[in-house]
């Protein structure tokens, strides 16, 4: 697809993109390897010059036009996401809508966030100086993305990068690269010079070589902790933005609207088969309502249908591969061996793994301490609010958290005390608006996405100072 524009001498057999549900062939992409990196960098260098030279109104117009084209092709994109990533149609449609918004926000950012006046006369002795800073492109950015939101997470990198006048070498997940290629086709049709975004489809070996390249100014990575750590070790002196995993806690206080909390938490835990970085993994429920919450939550979880994502009756699509489903099964088996009690689920068929709920999970287990990234949730009772906060903050990393309460003071206290990149009040952890700052807290948290914030990460201030003594 996009690679044909590059005329790379790709020698390795192509990558088959398989439907996660039934293993059927969805498409084939070239397998670009480390040997092609010099050519990719050459194209990237040229792209950086071209994008920096585009006036802001042109960058904005390209992003707007691409957004409109994607909106017109919303159904095609949604079908592609179902086929390559296994989301249900409703989930895929939501992702397409968000991608359109991300690109429109990026277009706006290109036009408004160009710099600031610097108040030089605020410093005694600088009264004769006036000046400003502009927001300049970084140059060449390598963007590496995961499989689980194969369209919108790519837009979160390309939109702000283009708005800021950068070139990007994009390495999408080898498991689901097709939505990214289609998105870039629309950007080019909207007038983006082809060299500005180079899509390089390949695996970890390609990723490693791109990360190591000296002329790359920034690695914008979304993916898992293990990969993030490998990238940090290889990158050398370049900017790193790391959007890694979560293990989201949601606190359910006894004074909350319980039916609303159950509703929201079921969606938060099982959306996209739990393959969601802000998906709810640990439900901390006050003892006074634990039984009622548990009964309502488990009844709702049991009713969720796992299976073919192309069917309207399906609530939970497949995991990305049978191996990913087996891994989830193994994490649950380990927790059960360590004394956890199964409340529902833990049934796997191929890549499909049904909604699984456990209680009495050992806090030393992987299921409590690490991201499971599967439709698996842990219920944990607590007595006091202080206890809930301590439980919420136990893991060494975090992204989002949530709390359900009818008490404003409790909500505000939770917002202050929970260590997370975002605290959702009377919502599960699974809420995100594409303009808000988005990122983690504690271990591995580097940078923020959310269009304005990614744009600022992807540009650098340049100061101009005029000394004009009177």
Q: Which of 454, 298, 317 is nearest to 374 (CA)?
A: 317
Q: Do residues 196 and 50 make contact, with C-beta atoms less than 8 angstroms apart?
A: yes
Per CB under 6 A, contacts with ligand NAD among 276-305 are 277
**245 contributes a contact to ligand NAD by CB under 6 A:** yes
Q: Do residues 400 and 278 make contact, with C-beta atoms less than 8 angstroms apart?
A: yes
**427 contributes a contact to ligand NAD by CB under 6 A:** no
Mention every residue, 6+ apart, whose C-beta is less than 8 A from residue 117: 131, 132
Tell me how far, at minimum, the Cβ of 111 lies from ligand NAD, in Å: 25
Tell me how far, at minimum, the Cβ of 147 lies from ligand NAD, in Å: 4
Q: Which of 19, 227, 410, 441 binds ligand NAD (CB under 6 A)?
A: 227
Query: Which stretch in 59-67, 120-128, 148-156, 462-470 sits in contact with ligand NAD by CB under 6 A?
Result: 148-156
Whether 121 sits among the annotated catalytic residues: the reply is no
Per CB under 6 A, contacts with ligand NAD among 329-368 are none
Query: Which stretch in 66-74, 87-95, 166-174, 281-289 sits in contact with ligand NAD by CB under 6 A?
Result: 166-174
**169 contributes a contact to ligand NAD by CB under 6 A:** no
Whether 338 sits among the annotated catalytic residues: the reply is no
Tell me how far, at minimum, the Cβ of 251 lies from ligand NAD, in Å: 21
Residue showing tokens 């959007």? 243
Tell me how far, at minimum, the Cβ of 439 lies from ligand NAD, in Å: 7
Catalytic residue among 99, 256, 265, 277: 277
Q: Which of 113, 148, 398, 459 binds ligand NAD (CB under 6 A)?
A: 148
Nearer to ligand NAD, 49 or 208 (CB): 208
**159 contributes a contact to ligand NAD by CB under 6 A:** no
Nearer to ligand NAD, 290 or 455 (CB): 455
**142 contributes a contact to ligand NAD by CB under 6 A:** no
Nearer to ligand NAD, 307 or 450 (CB): 450
Tell me how far, at minimum, the Cβ of 198 lies from ligand NAD, in Å: 15
Tell me the C-alpha distance between 219 and 234, whole Å.
11
**178 contributes a contact to ligand NAD by CB under 6 A:** no
Nearer to ligand NAD, 134 or 330 (CB): 330
Catalytic residue among 51, 83, 149, 243: 243
Q: Do residues 92 and 148 make contact, with C-beta atoms less than 8 angstroms apart?
A: no
Provide Rg for the chain, Cα atoms. 23
Query: Which stretch in 26-34, 99-107, 147-155, 251-259 sits in contact with ligand NAD by CB under 6 A?
Result: 147-155
Per CB under 6 A, contacts with ligand NAD among 390-409 are 399
**216 contributes a contact to ligand NAD by CB under 6 A:** no
Nearer to ligand NAD, 150 or 296 (CB): 150
Give the nearest residue (CB) to ligand NAD. Answer: 207
Q: Which of 33, 131, 224, 350 binds ligand NAD (CB under 6 A)?
A: 224
Which residues are designated catalytic?
243, 277
Binding site for ligand NAD (CB under 6 A): 144-149, 153, 171, 173-174, 203-204, 207-208, 211, 222-224, 227, 230-231, 243-245, 277, 371, 373, 399
């Amino acid at each position: 697809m996009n690679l044909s524009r590059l005329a790379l001498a790709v020698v390795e057999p192509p990558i088959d993109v398989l439907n996660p549900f039934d293993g059927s062939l969805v498409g084939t992409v070239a397998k670009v390897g480390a040997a092609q990196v010099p050519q990719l960098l050459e194209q990237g260098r040229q792209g950086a010059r071209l994008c920096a030279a585009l006036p802001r109104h042109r960058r904005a117009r390209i992003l707007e036009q691409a957004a409109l084209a994607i909106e017109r092709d919303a159904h095609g994109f949604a079908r592609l996401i179902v086929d390559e990533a296994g989301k249900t149609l409703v989930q895929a449609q939501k992702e397409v809508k968000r991608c359109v918004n991300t690109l429109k926000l990026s277009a706006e950012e290109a036009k408004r966030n160009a710099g600031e006046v610097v108040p030089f006369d605020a410093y005694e002795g600088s009264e004769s100086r006036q000046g400003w800073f502009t927001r300049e492109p970084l140059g060449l950015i390598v963007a590496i993305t995961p499989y689980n939101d194969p369209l919108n997470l790519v837009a979160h990198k390309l939109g702000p990068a283009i708005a800021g006048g950068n070139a990007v070498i994009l390495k999408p997940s080898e498991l689901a690269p097709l939505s990214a290629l289609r998105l870039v086709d629309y950007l080019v049709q909207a007038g983006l010079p082809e060299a500005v975004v180079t899509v390089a489809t390949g695996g970890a070996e390609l990723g490693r070589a791109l990360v190591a390249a000296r002329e790359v100014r920034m690695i914008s990575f979304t993916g898992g902790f293990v990969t993030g750590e490998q990238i940090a070790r290889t990158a050398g002196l370049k900017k790193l933005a790391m959007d890694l995993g979560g293990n989201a806690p949601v606190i359910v206080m006894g004074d909350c609207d319980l039916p609303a909390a159950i509703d929201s938490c079921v969606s938060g835990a099982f959306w996209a088969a739990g393959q969601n970085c802000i998906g709810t993994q640990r439900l901390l429920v006050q003892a006074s309502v634990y039984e009622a919450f548990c009964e309502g939550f488990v009844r709702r979880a049991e009713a969720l249908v796992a299976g073919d994502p192309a069917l309207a009756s399906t609530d939970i699509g497949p995991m990305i591969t049978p191996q990913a489903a087996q891994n989830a099964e193994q994490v649950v088996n380990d927790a059960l061996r360590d004394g956890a009690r199964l409340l529902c689920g833990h049934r796997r068929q191929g890549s499909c793994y049904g909604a699984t709920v456990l209680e009495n999970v050992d806090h030393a287990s992987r299921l409590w301490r690490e991201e499971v990234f599967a439709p698996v949730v842990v219920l944990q009772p607590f007595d006091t609010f202080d206890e809930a906060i301590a439980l919420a903050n136990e893991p060494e990393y975090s992204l989002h958290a949530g709390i359900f309460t009818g008490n404003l003071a409790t909500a505000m206290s939770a917002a202050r005390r929970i260590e997370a990149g975002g605290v959702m009040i009377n919502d599960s952890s699974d809420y995100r608006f594409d303009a808000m700052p988005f990122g983690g807290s504690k271990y591995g948290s580097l940078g923020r996405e959310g269009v304005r914030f990614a744009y600022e990460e992807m540009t650098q201030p340049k100061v101009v100072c005029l000394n004009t003594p009177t």
